[in-house]
Amino acid sequence: MGVLILSESQFLIPGLVDTHIHGPQYVFTGTGYDLTLLKWLETYTFPKEAEFKSVDHASDVYSKVVGKSLKNFVKHLVENIASPLVTPCITPRFVPSCTSELMEELGNIAEKYNLPIQSHISENIGEIQWVKELHPDCDSYSHVYDKYKLMTNKTVMAHCVHLTPQERKLFKEKGVGISHCPNSNFCLHSGVLNVRRLINEGFEKIGLGTDVAGGYSPSIMDAMRQALISSKVIHIDSHAGEDEKYPALNFANVFYLATLGGAKVMDLDKKIGNFIVGKEFDALVVDISSQMGKPLLLSDNPGSSLVDQFKHDDHMSLFEKFIYLGDDRNFERMYVGGKRVF
């Protein structure tokens, strides 16, 4: 194996982790954001997902969404990524679309086979009210999932925007991971998750999700920026009070959420998330000198730089510029499990 010498404009980062994305929704990414969550689901999600009864349709869509999310040619993916990287996951969509019998059986399957679980919770105020009407015997949305053994240390819950203090306590007790999906939360008028409060309360399992197609971008770079914006919104709102209770997240914080934080959420932090000796080599070679005129990963056509460099820039300022200004055209190489996939 040869040695790769990085240039002054290149650096290595751990692979970015998307903790929440909907493959079947990719077909309507970027549409319907004048609607709120429940109406959006009725208008776009449920009808479009019904079309996946066609195997040919599913194959076409998943080839596109995997290629887009990995920024990779699907042929290389098939040849280079082995099946141990794929784990079955119990996925009740959310409480309103699941019968009690279904949730009970899913909880039993997850327990029997020690499987991860993923779902949605407290994304939208109307959704929370709906759950309350469907399950009046439960004192919270989280209680419904917990009743059916779906709240475990291998559970990932997306959104979590409107969790009560009691629900946050239950999350910590059960070791549930949180997928923060700021783009989607803005687009579907759902609310703003207070990530700094979660950190202050001792939560360690927080990652980022694109939530395509609730979010319009499949890029975790976008998720990092949206997380910064949502945190600043919370900061501005809290700053209007008597004290500054929730300092805004910074670029280092959201990079952590996109890497090791996401790995912890997915129960993969023993394998990936950083470059600790003994972990698998999941990595991206970033080149901040990449050109705007360069089509995504395909050529070296000249153009204006994505990230301009000046004499005063040091390594940290260039890294911060990459977080705010870079995109997948800055990715020169990708390694998954020690294998180069582009």
Produce one character per residue of 112-127: b if its CB has 16 or more CB atoms within 10 Å, e if not. Answer: eeeebbbbbbbbbeeb
- Tens of pLDDT, residue by residue over 200-254, are 999 999 999 999 999 999 999 999 999 999 999 999 987 655 555 889 999 999 9
Q: Predicted confidence band at 96 (pLDDT cuts at 50, 70, 90)?
A: very high
Sheet containing strand 339-340, edge to edge, reads: 10-14, 283-287, 331-336, 339-340
Q: What is the pTM of this model?
A: 0.90
What's the whole-number mean pLDDT along residues 278-301?
77
**In the chain, where are the structural domains located?**
18-47+87-271
Look at 310 and 72; give whichever has higher pLDDT.
Answer: 310
Place of tokens 């349709």: 57
- Tens of pLDDT, residue by residue over 31-87, are 999 999 999 999 999 999 899 888 888 888 888 887 777 653 374 444 454 457 788
DSSP state of 45: I
Rounded to the nearest 5 degrees, what angle is found at the Cα of 214, between the Cα atoms of 211 and 217? 65
Please tell me the predicted confidence (pLDDT) of residue 73: 37
For 18-47+87-271, CATH gives: 3.20.20.140
Rounded to the nearest 5 degrees, what angle is found at the Cα of 313, between the Cα atoms of 308 and 314? 130
Please tell me the predicted confidence (pLDDT) of residue 75: 42
C-beta of residue 93 within 8 angstroms of C-beta of residue 214: no
Sheet containing strand 117-121, edge to edge, reads: 117-121, 155-159, 177-180, 206-208
